[in-house]
Structure 1
């Protein structure tokens, strides 16, 4: 009996250590806690989402696919490669439609579609945002001389800006910083301003907020209908839905066995949501996922 108890204690300790190392304790705890709370009106309710395209490789992309944004006008997805300076267009089934060489940038990580042919790119190490016009038939663009904004915040190497999304109702960019510390910022007056216009930068949440319980932030996307925000964490293997008050309301688990997944999403680096509320995630180096809500 004593030996059995020792083995049992060791097994429990090993399980707890495993959960802690893999951030599973945070994921399971937050999922349980949020599932007990009433959902706000028009919530996405990420706990009801299941994967319907899982880990499909985009064979033409051998480099690290990062960032993702949905273009409501073209009905396609756009992403960037943070190794090669490429901007790519992808179908909603994960097929590569176009590759565009981008000159004048280094270490692209974030991408947000604004409207028409206009996008904003983010360079991680330089903390620089660049407004880009991308013609529908372009195969190369040069961003040198295009309007840009450098934000001198926590310039400490390769833990800079990881994701962007555009709020067309408020006319502001939302930007996440990966970690050390985690930050969620809004940038107003940059995209639509005249050259002489002022820019306002506001921090919504940082790492000491109990609503940012992830180990890192790798991407974000805004649901335009509800105004709810999705924050993606690679290290914590989760996407979290935030309401208009930026309070966490639901969680999408990206660990094997959760959300219909047969294997853990290895390195989630981009997230987007389309007009039908389907959620797309890309994982380095070139894996494509789609999640749909089961009603």
Structure 2
């Protein structure tokens, strides 16, 4: 879409299909992980519904299955190959990440865990959903000419998401060291220590923002140059300020900092349309 003139009922419906199916699939993946992590979460996150006993295992299973069925049903109804591809791969990798059977439970291994998250969130979701929405727009105006038009922001999306997702993945395991170690989950925080992983997270984001600023500064488009340089400069400054106040020894600081990284991740999406 290049202007509001491209917005139609078909495009809006395609957007809602992608949003609803992705939300349901995300609930399935997160819920499945909690079902297989009940004992770990009693140590790491005792306030979660299953770990605290607020939800029974039966309730958890019912919700997970229901949201999986809803997600796949929406995908099938959409008749969108890119959307169905994203949902099916998310289902397969999300299941392999959590299910505790031989050859699965990939979250035990740092490389496999990172691969699952990066493939789905940093690459598949960006490319598949972009293609899905392009097809919806083209079906409205040029049904016989389904040509996918990429832009600079389209090329930037996977790169930005890769760094942000990797920072989120490494940061989320920092407070979970005790439970992960007890149950054999070899996260980076368990292997390297919380302080090293925290520094790695900050360095990855700072490197990404610096690279984005350099790329933006070389852009011939003035508006893209301003948006990219100023936006990522602001992200880097805010991150630096927050990092100065962070104390790895204070457990009450860890979760708010993790949520702050999520805010930076979503802020990137607001910046992408201006690039």
TM-score, normalised by the number of residues in structure 2: 0.25
**TM-score, normalising length: structure 1:** 0.24
- The answer to which structure has the higher helix fraction is 2
Q: Which of the two has greater strand per residue?
A: 1
Say which structure, 1 or 2, has more relative contact order (CA 8 Å, 6+ apart).
Answer: 1
